């Protein structure tokens, strides 16, 4: 399992790497990091530039978009699905719910068509 700092490091190092697999911990730690960055940039924007003016937030959004997309694709790969399934997010509500279920589900044990198990060599994942 990845720690917070490992997940952020891997997410930034694999900026546009859409191959391989990402464990649940890597995906969710990355998601928490992005959430914290978005909250922090919104607060800083409000303090520095005034209410309603956003300068840092859209910059953070642009910087973190591709690595977020890449870790999402790698997470789907871990569950044995193609990254193209991310297009389900275009279906309001239902698509997001389906993706959320897949993102929280356990990845395939052992290697699959997308690469080796990211948790190989670590303790077994709880159900």
Between CA 20 and CA 112 the distance in angstroms is: 10
Q: For 26-65, write each residue's pLDDT tens digit.
A: 999 999 999 999 999 999 999 999 888 899 999 999 999 9
Q: Quick check: 127 pLDDT over 90?
A: no
Between CA 39 and CA 34 the distance in angstroms is: 9
Its pTM surpasses 0.85: yes
């Amino acid at each position: 399992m990845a720690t917070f700092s490992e997940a952020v490091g891997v997410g930034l190092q694999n900026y546009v790497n859409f191959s391989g697999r990402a464990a649940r911990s890597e995906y969710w730690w990355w998601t928490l990091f992005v959430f914290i960055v978005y909250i922090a940039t919104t607060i800083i924007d409000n303090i520095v530039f005034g209410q309603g003016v956003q300068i840092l937030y859209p910059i953070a959004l642009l910087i973190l978009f591709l690595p977020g997309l890449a870790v999402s694709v790698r997470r789907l790969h871990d569950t044995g699905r193609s990254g193209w399934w991310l297009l389900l997010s275009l279906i309001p509500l239902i698509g997001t719910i389906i993706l959320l279920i897949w993102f929280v589900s356990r990845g395939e044990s052992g290697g699959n068509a997308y690469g080796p198990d990211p948790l190989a060599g670590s303790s077994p994942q709880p159900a």
